[in-house]
Each structure stands twice: as structure tokens, then as C-alpha cells.
């Protein structure tokens, strides 16, 4: 007798323990505490001083759902007259937010590892009634009357399968299917079905029927398109019909409801006749349950099934993911990145290359390539990483793997070496220093001579250092290099991380140095930060199998003085306003400094620019190093301008702040002698205090 009691008690205790375990998982899921999936995440986002429209977009990108009533679950928000009522994940109750209030949102999943989801959750009240009725009719007609398990449905399915001598019907309720999609794999097994039952009971205890249906319709699986899994009716409506959910017809709604039994088998693009037969079955079931009328049934059943063709979704930041995978150990990765501007970079490259191909048809004969990387000017954290035009065609990463000569992008570091007394043994130069732009011949070893020329093959006589940098003149840069010394220039380039072993030749002044786009952009970030070395970093934090990966701490070694760097920055602002980078102004109007670069025979076109917040570099060319016949100002600067136009809508861009040691003076434009402020024709120039007398 006692043995029999224990035989009954032990399974009950085990079942209760399993239920409470499953229930705790369901509770965490509802509160947004579910296990963090492996993938790449954004940083936490501080939305202080952001308008309500911006905050709403930030919530929607994190799959928050807007509700009409007060939010009662994590991941919901409601509009109020003055702001928003937000139930943040991992919070115990909703909080009121109004413009001007601080708001810190949790990281959002940018790139999942493994299966990539296309999912856009929407509220139940934005779905047509006949769409909801279609799913309930074919999947769970007693949904609103059972408690998570439908014994009638299970019995019916059991006898149908026995009769057919194969698995023909399932008895799973909508609640069970939701549990399967969220907590378990789609692989059939008795253990999974057993656990599904416990999860279904837990969900029913914790959520209303409408909330269960809403979560189900936003989660249900509709098949695979390339590397992307389609989840939820919103994504399915977009993928198959290019429609919003509220635009679906009865026929289309019935077709989607019919698909979920076997998404691949009933795919309307691949198997239209199967999909039509399944749709008709759903419509018939809706008619039997009085969800539609005879006329509705006839009209929907006679309508033609028309799906739209779509390109497969491109992988998000594939070059970045590949580089990250090479850098980190194997295992289950959770990476907190800074890719806040990835879409801006991808669109800028796509639109820029398209525009160049239209304007210069000869470029279409070969595969014109471009790359863009953007980093945080203060931390070096990568914000956008686009290693080429199309990863699906060519996986070579032109950011970290492509070494090319950097052309005139080297010139700011050449002139900085002369402006900063701590970098050279030569007399300190100023932006108003006079340099010669005249024909020059330099004797090399072996009795050879080198005669550099300007890009336009003309000479301008005596020019100021500022003018030479703004117009990217070659001869003055060579003159400065000769005065401060090639070894000094090589040392400065190495300290800024451009290259480990610069060639000790006069042509170093014109960019006869190989580097990659990541190192070059990092060097310019050193200018943006006021002269401190900024090493680009791919991620903020990474965990492998739950263990944090040690990362090199931020190196803020000062290389150049803040005052000298500000002079270079001011001259590089002139590059954009009046010089070789003025095409940027066709797209971006904010404060920025930058420099174009074009290598011999126009094989490489560069533009690197910065603000106090963002430093971005762009390269355009052919992988085989053929000439593209375009300068950096024509090919690369417009792409940079497009990127920054997008970036300024996403982040706040700060103005440049003049250091205390930098002063301004008014000069006579012809003699460059100091004059009184307001003197007719006078020009304003900046100096490091103590160097203004020259």
C-alpha cells in the first residue's frame, strides 16, 4: 500500500517541480528577462533631450508594442498627451517619460548568430478580425474556451492519425504553439510535447487570451527566405504580399493561416496550387464556424493568389561579423557593439556607388568597390563597418585587410609635424607660414631625380600653409617634409598608428605609404580627440559561453599638442568649405573637418573626416588597383557626406571647441601683417599663443 502511494506521490512531486521551473521561465519571458540569445547587441541608449518621435522609433526597434490601454507587461508603451508611458523590460511597473526626461533603454539585438529573424511585432487591435478568425478557425477553434490544452482537439487528432496510419493532425492549441516557438525547438518529440503542456498552463495563468493571441500572431513561424526566418503576421504580410497587416484581404489572411502547418510545403511562391487548396480549407472552416458569410467565402475562394517577388534579405554587417569571428574564440557569443550607424554606412555606400556608375558609365565595365568605417572619436568604438559594396558577391574586407597607398590623406600629419614644436626640431610653423609652390627637383640615390607635381600640373608661387592644405598642393607638402625631416614624419605616422614601418623616402610627403582604412580612420580620430591616440575597437564587451573576454584598455597616449591639432582641424574645415572636399556640402551642412586623398594615376580615392563625436573614412577604387580616373573629392567625399547626413539624424553632433592656447588675429591679405579688427579686406587667422609674430 505504502509503495503504491509513493508510486503516485513521486510523479506528482516531479510534475509539480517541473511546472514551477517552467513557470519561472515563462515569468522571466513575460518580464523581458528571458535568456539573452547569442548575437551582436547595441549599447544601452541614453535618450535624454530626444523628441518623442525619436524615442518611439527607439522603442519599436526594440520590439516594444504600442497599446491603447495602460501597459501591463514589459515591452509595452502608450502615448500620453505630453509623453509616453513605458513599461521597460526588467522593470516592475510602467514609468512616465516626457521630453527632456532622462531615459536609458536596454541594448537591442542587432545581429543574431544562427537563425536571423525578420519580425515586426504589432498590437492585436491593428490586425483585421478576419485574420485573427482565420488562425483560430484552422488552428484552435476552442481557443477562447480552453485553459491551454484542448482535450477534444487532442482526441480528434489521435483518432485521425490512427485512421490515416500516419501523423496527419496535431492537437496543439495556439497556447501550446506559442510555447513551442518561444521556449522549445520545432523538432517533434514526446519530451517537448510534455513540457509544452506545462508551459501552456503557465502562459494561460499569467496572460489574457487576447495577449496570448497577440504574442502568438507576432511569433508564429512562416518559413525561411535565404538566411532569414520569417516570424509573425506583419513580416509575412510584407514578405509575401508587400503589404501592411491591415491591408490584407480575407483570401490572403486565410492563405497565411493555412501556411503555418507546414510553411515550406505550403509556400505560395513555390507551391501555389498547394497553398490555394490549403487556403480554401481555411475559408471552408471559417464558414462552418460562421466567421464569414457565403458571399465572403465565394469571393475569397475565387480570388487569385498573387505574391510579390523579393530579393533575399542581405546579412546585417557581414564584414563586421566576419572580422569579429576571427578575433574572438569559438563558443556562444554575446557581443555588445557600437554599431549605431551601420545602416547609414550601408546606404551611403550603396547610393554613392550607384550615383558614380550613373555619372561615369565607364566605371560599370568593372566592379567598382567602396568601403566605409566610422568610429567614435572619443572611445574608438566602431559605429559603422562596411567592408565592400556587396558581401554576397565578394567577401574581401577592404577595411582591415586591404592595404593601399593613402595619398594626400597623409598631409594633415605632415603639416602637424611642423606646427607642433614637440614633434620636430625645426622652427615652429603657423597656418600663415609662407611655402613655395614652384617646380622642384630632388636628387635620389643612384643619381636619379624626383620632380613632384601638383594634381593639376600647375604652380601657384608662394602660398600659406593653410591654403596649401585646403587645396591639397603637393609641392608645399614636400617642402615641409624636407625641412622637418623624413625621419620625423615617419615617427609621427607611426605614433598615430598609420603604419609600423614608413618608407624613409621624400615621396612619403605625398602618401607613398601603405595603410588600411581602419588604421587611417583611427589616426584621424586622434586629430578629432585633440591629439590623443585612439585605437579603433570592434566591440565594447564580449562574452563567450558567459565568460567575459578581456579587452585592451583604452590607450589615451598624447601624441600632439591640443593647440597644434586644433589649427590642423580648422584648416581641414576649410577643405570642406573651400577646398578639395567641398562636395561634402551637397549632403551635409554641419561642422566637420576632413581631407581628400588621391593616389598616383587615380587608383585610390579617399576621404576621411571627423567631428568631435564621429570619425569616418571612405575608400573607393578597384580591387585590382586599376585607375578609376576620379579624385577623392569626386568619388569618396560625397559618400562621406551622405553618411554624415544620416548620422546627424541619429546622434547629437558637437561643435569644435577652441583651446585656450589658440588665439585669433586679423591679417592683411597681401602682406599677412597684423591689422586692427574690422580693417577692410582683413582675414582672420588662428595661432598658438606665442607664435603669432613671424
Q: How confident is the model at residue 682 (pLDDT cuts 50, 70, 90)?
A: confident
Distance CA 94, CA 70 (A): 8
Region 437-458 average pLDDT? 86
Domain boundary among 74, 92, 112: 112
pLDDT of residue 166: 47
Between 647 and 28, the higher pLDDT residue: 647
Helix (H, G, I), strand (E, B) or coil at 384: strand
Whether residues 128 and 106 fall in one domain:
no
**E strand intervals along 295-418:** 333-336, 369-376, 382-386, 404-405
Whether residues 77 and 188 fall in one domain:
no
Total domains present in the chain? 4
Residue 618 has pLDDT above 90, yes or no: yes
CATH number of domain containing 171: 1.10.3810.10
Cell numbers found for residue 529:
580627440
pLDDT of residue 188: 64
Whether residues 156 and 206 fall in one domain:
yes
Mean pLDDT is lowest, of 71-75, 170-174, 297-301, 546-550, for 170-174
Of the candidates 87, 89, 110, the one whose C-alpha atom is nearest the C-alpha of residue 97 is: 87
Q: How confident is the model at residue 116 (pLDDT cuts 50, 70, 90)?
A: low
Mention every residue, 6+ apart, whose C-beta is less than 8 A from residue 63: 75, 119, 121
pLDDT of residue 50: 83
pLDDT of residue 6: 61
> Exposure string (b/e) for 461-473, b if CB count within 10 Å is 16 or more?
eebbbbbbbbbbb
pLDDT of residue 167: 44
Distance CA 118, CA 233 (A): 11
Whether residues 664 and 527 fall in one domain:
no
pLDDT tens-digit series, residues 357-396: 999 998 888 899 999 999 999 999 999 999 999 998 899 9
Residue 3 has pLDDT above 70, yes or no: no
CB 393: neighbour CB atoms within 10 A? 9
Percentage, residues of the chain above pLDDT 90: 49
The answer to whether position 29 is within a domain reads no
Domain boundary among 302, 317, 337: 302
pLDDT of residue 30: 72
Between 354 and 154, the higher pLDDT residue: 354
Burial class (CB in 10 A: 0-12, 13-18, 19+), 313: middle
The answer to whether position 138 is within a domain reads yes
CATH number of domain containing 73: 3.30.2060
Helix (H, G, I), strand (E, B) or coil at 549: coil
Q: How confident is the model at residue 663 (pLDDT cuts 50, 70, 90)?
A: very high
Whether the CA torsion 390, 391, 394, 395 is positive or negative: it is positive
String of DSSP letters for 619-679: EEE-TT-------HHHHTHHHHHHHHHHHHHHSPPPPP---TTEEEEEE-TTT--B--TT-
Whether residues 56 and 142 fall in one domain:
no
The answer to whether position 245 is within a domain reads yes
What average pLDDT does the structure give for the chain?
87
Between 370 and 93, the higher pLDDT residue: 370
The answer to whether position 136 is within a domain reads yes
Whether residues 270 and 396 fall in one domain:
no
Whether residues 99 and 121 fall in one domain:
no
Mention every residue, 6+ apart, whose C-beta is less than 8 A from residue 120: 232, 234, 235, 238
Residue 439 has pLDDT above 50, yes or no: yes
Q: What angle do CA 342, 343, 347 make, to 5 degrees?
A: 120
The helix or strand, by DSSP H or E, that contains position 596, with its residue range, turns out to be strand 593-598
Between 548 and 621, the higher pLDDT residue: 621
Domain region containing 293:
116-302
Region 205-224 average pLDDT? 88
The answer to whether position 316 is within a domain reads no
Whether residues 462 and 527 fall in one domain:
yes
Residue 309 has pLDDT above 90, yes or no: no
Residue 266 has pLDDT above 90, yes or no: yes
Helical segments of 437-503, H only = 465-470, 474-484, 486-495
Residue 37 has pLDDT above 80, yes or no: no
The answer to whether position 241 is within a domain reads yes
Q: How confident is the model at residue 201 (pLDDT cuts 50, 70, 90)?
A: confident
Cell numbers found for residue 443:
636628387
Q: How confident is the model at residue 1 (pLDDT cuts 50, 70, 90)?
A: low
Between 117 and 498, the higher pLDDT residue: 498
Distance CA 114, CA 108 (A): 17
Domain boundary among 112, 127, 162: 112
pLDDT tens-digit series, residues 563-593: 999 999 999 999 999 999 999 999 999 999 9
pTM of the model: 0.81
The answer to whether position 254 is within a domain reads yes
Cell numbers found for residue 108:
537591442
Q: How confident is the model at residue 694 (pLDDT cuts 50, 70, 90)?
A: very low
Distance CA 325, CA 400 (A): 14
Distance CA 575, CA 557 (A): 27
Of the candidates 370, 366, 364, the one whose C-alpha atom is nearest the C-alpha of residue 352 is: 370
The answer to whether position 341 is within a domain reads no
Return the residue matching grid coordinates 587645396.
471
Distance CA 518, CA 499 (A): 11
Whether residues 295 and 433 fall in one domain:
no
Strand partners, 449: 443
Region 207-232 average pLDDT? 85
pLDDT of residue 164: 47
pLDDT of residue 637: 97
Q: How confident is the model at residue 172 (pLDDT cuts 50, 70, 90)?
A: confident
Whether residues 149 and 82 fall in one domain:
no
Percentage, residues of the chain above pLDDT 70: 91
Whether residues 520 and 592 fall in one domain:
yes
pLDDT of residue 360: 94
Q: How confident is the model at residue 334 (pLDDT cuts 50, 70, 90)?
A: confident
From residue 45, alpha-carbon distances to 12, 62, 339 in Å are 47, 11, 12
Residue 291 has pLDDT above 90, yes or no: yes
Residue 228 has pLDDT above 90, yes or no: no
Give the CA count within 13 Å in the CB-facing half-sphere of 123.
14
CATH number of domain containing 406: 3.40.710.10
Cell numbers found for residue 101:
526626461
pLDDT of residue 35: 63
Amino acid at each position: 500500500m505504502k509503495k503504491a502511494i509513493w508510486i503516485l506521490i513521486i510523479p506528482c512531486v516531479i510534475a509539480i517541480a517541473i511546472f514551477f521551473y517552467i513557470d519561472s521561465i515563462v515569468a522571466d519571458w513575460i518580464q523581458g528577462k528571458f535568456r539573452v540569445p547569442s548575437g551582436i547587441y547595441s549599447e544601452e541608449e541614453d535618450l535624454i533631450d530626444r523628441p518623442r518621435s525619436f524615442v518611439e522609433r527607439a522603442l519599436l526597434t526594440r520590439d516594444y508594442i504600442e497599446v491603447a490601454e495602460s501597459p501591463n507587461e514589459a515591452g509595452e508603451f502608450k502615448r500620453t498627451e505630453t509623453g509616453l508611458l513605458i513599461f521597460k523590460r526588467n522593470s516592475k511597473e510602467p514609468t512616465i517619460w516626457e521630453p527632456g526626461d532622462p531615459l536609458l533603454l536596454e541594448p537591442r539585438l542587432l545581429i543574431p548568430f544562427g537563425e536571423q529573424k525578420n519580425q515586426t511585432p504589432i498590437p492585436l487591435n491593428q490586425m483585421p478580425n478576419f485574420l485573427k478568425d482565420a488562425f483560430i478557425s484552422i488552428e484552435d477553434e476552442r481557443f477562447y474556451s480552453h485553459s491551454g490544452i484542448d482535450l477534444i482537439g487532442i482526441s480528434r487528432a489521435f483518432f485521425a492519425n490512427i485512421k490515416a496510419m500516419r501523423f496527419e493532425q496535431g492537437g496543439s492549441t495556439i497556447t501550446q504553439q506559442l510555447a513551442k516557438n518561444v521556449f522549445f525547438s520545432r523538432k517533434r518529440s514526446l519530451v517537448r510535447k510534455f513540457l509544452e503542456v506545462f508551459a501552456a498552463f503557465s502562459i494561460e495563468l499569467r496572460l489574457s487570451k487576447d495577449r496570448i493571441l497577440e504574442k502568438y500572431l507576432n511569433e508564429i513561424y512562416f518559413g525561411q527566405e535565404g538566411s532569414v526566418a520569417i516570424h509573425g503576421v506583419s513580416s509575412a504580410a510584407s514578405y509575401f504580399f508587400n503589404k501592411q497587416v491591415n491591408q490584407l484581404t480575407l483570401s490572403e489572411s486565410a492563405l497565411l493561416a493555412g501556411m503555418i502547418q507546414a510553411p515550406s510545403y505550403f509556400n505560395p511562391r513555390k507551391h501555389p496550387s498547394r497553398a490555394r487548396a490549403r487556403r480554401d480549407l481555411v475559408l471552408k472552416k471559417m464558414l462552418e464556424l460562421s466567421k464569414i458569410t457565403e458571399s465572403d467565402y465565394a469571393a475569397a475562394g475565387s480570388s487569385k493568389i498573387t505574391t510579390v517577388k523579393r530579393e533575399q534579405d542581405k546579412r546585417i554587417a557581414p564584414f563586421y561579423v566576419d572580422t569579429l569571428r576571427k578575433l574572438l574564440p569559438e563558443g556562444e557569443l554575446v557581443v555588445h557593439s557600437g554599431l549605431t550607424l551601420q545602416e547609414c554606412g550601408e546606404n551611403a555606400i550603396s547610393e554613392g556607388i550607384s550615383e558614380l556608375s550613373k555619372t561615369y558609365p565607364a566605371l560599370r565595365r568593372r566592379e567598382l568597390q567602396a568601403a566605409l568605417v566610422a568610429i567614435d572619436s572619443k572611445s574608438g568604438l566602431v559605429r559603422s563597418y562596411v567592408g565592400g559594396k556587396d558581401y554576397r558577391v565578394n567577401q574581401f574586407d577592404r577595411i582591415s585587410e586591404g592595404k593601399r597607398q593613402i595619398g594626400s590623406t597623409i598631409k594633415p600629419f605632415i603639416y602637424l609635424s611642423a606646427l607642433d614644436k614637440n614633434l620636430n626640431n625645426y622652427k615652429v610653423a603657423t597656418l600663415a607660414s609662407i611655402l613655395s609652390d614652384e617646380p622642384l627637383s630632388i636628387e635620389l640615390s643612384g643619381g636619379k631625380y624626383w620632380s613632384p607635381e601638383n594634381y593639376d600640373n600647375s604652380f601657384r608661387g608662394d602660398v600659406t600653409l593653410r591654403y596649401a592644405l585646403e587645396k591639397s598642393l603637393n609641392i608645399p607638402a614636400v617642402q615641409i617634409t624636407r625641412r622637418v625631416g623624413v625621419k620625423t614624419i615617419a615617427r609621427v605616422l607611426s605614433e598615430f598608428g598609420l603604419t609600423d614601418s614608413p618608407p624613409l623616402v621624400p615621396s612619403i610627403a605625398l602618401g607613398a605609404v601603405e595603410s588600411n582604412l581602419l588604421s587611417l580612420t583611427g589616426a584621424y580620430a586622434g586629430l578629432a580627440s585633440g591629439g590623443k591616440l585612439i585605437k579603433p575597437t570592434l566591440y565594447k564587451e564580449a562574452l563567450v559561453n558567459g565568460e567575459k573576454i578581456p579587452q585592451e584598455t583604452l590607450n589615451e597616449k598624447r601624441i600632439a599638442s591640443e593647440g597644434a591639432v586644433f589649427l590642423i582641424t580648422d584648416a581641414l574645415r576649410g577643405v570642406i568649405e573651400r577646398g578639395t572636399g567641398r562636395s561634402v556640402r551637397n549632403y551635409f551642412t554641419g561642422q566637420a573637418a576632413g581631407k581628400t586623398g588621391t593616389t598616383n594615376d587615380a587608383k585610390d580615392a579617399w576621404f576621411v573626416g571627423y567631428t568631435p563625436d564621429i570619425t569616418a573614412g571612405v575608400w573607393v577604387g578597384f580591387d585590382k588597383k586599376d585607375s578609376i580616373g576620379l579624385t577623392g573629392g569626386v568619388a569618396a567625399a560625397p559618400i562621406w557626406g551622405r553618411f554624415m547626413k544620416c548620422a546627424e539624424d541619429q546622434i547629437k553632433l558637437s561643435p569644435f571647441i577652441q583651446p585656450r592656447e589658440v588665439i585669433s588675429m586679423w591679417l592683411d591679405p597681401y602682406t599677412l601683417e597684423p591689422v586692427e579688427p574690422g580693417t577692410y579686406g582683413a582675414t582672420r587667422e588662428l595661432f598658438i599663443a606665442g607664435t603669432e609674430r613671424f
